[in-house]
Amino acid sequence: MEYLISEHGTAFHQDTPREVREVLDRCINSRRGMRVRIWLGDTKSGKAWNGQEHDVIGYIGRSSGTYKIPLMVYNTRALGGGGILDHCIIKITCGRSVLYQHPQFSQPVYTAEGGQVMEDGMPYAPNCATQARAERLAAFMNGERNSK
């Protein structure tokens, strides 16, 4: 696989859009650290992959290998994290600010009903402990909050 190396030394997948590379590099080089949320999906249609609630929020770091790829780091004190599928990113937010969004971005609609979370009318999380927990998870999945 060929990598594109940014001016800051970060290695990106060759299919990663320029805007995504710039946002990720900015997040890596931010002195204060930017806690971000990413959505992965089909980069041709802009449709988000279903069920993205794990390893999608944190700080962007960089690996220490020969090719310094972007990592999703849990917090600013963490020493490492999982590699990001940077060529599959369709949206990046920091708080309520959208840093990048695919022109045709779309995702399922999540609703909380009777202690469960529904994804486009189908059960997604059928056994939430409380209605409040289901509402928080639905809001997180819809991108309305950055914690579950």
Same domain, 121 and 77: no
pLDDT of residue 88: 97
Same domain, 97 and 30: yes
Same domain, 74 and 121: no
In a domain, residue 147? The reply is: no
CA 99 to chain centre: 11
Instruction: Give long-range contacts, CB 8 A cutoff, 24+ apart: 43-47.
Output: 43/15, 43/17, 43/87, 43/88, 43/89, 43/90, 43/102, 45/104, 45/106, 46/90, 46/102, 46/103, 46/104, 46/105, 46/106, 47/90, 47/104, 47/106, 47/107
Task: Please give the residue range of the domain that contains residue 17.
Answer: 3-101
In a domain, residue 81? The reply is: yes
pLDDT of residue 2: 83
- Where the chain has pLDDT below 70, the residues are 31, 148
Same domain, 89 and 119: no
Same domain, 34 and 80: yes
* Phi, psi (rounded to 5 degrees) for 41: 180, -165
Same domain, 70 and 131: no
CA atoms of 29 and 32, how far apart (whole Å): 9
pLDDT of residue 31: 67
Same domain, 11 and 40: yes
Query: Count of domains in the chain?
Result: 2
In a domain, residue 12? The reply is: yes
pLDDT of residue 34: 85
pLDDT of residue 44: 96
pLDDT of residue 92: 96
Same domain, 43 and 68: yes
Same domain, 82 and 18: yes
pLDDT of residue 76: 81
pLDDT of residue 50: 85
In a domain, residue 146? The reply is: no
**pTM (2 decimals)?**
0.90
Same domain, 11 and 64: yes
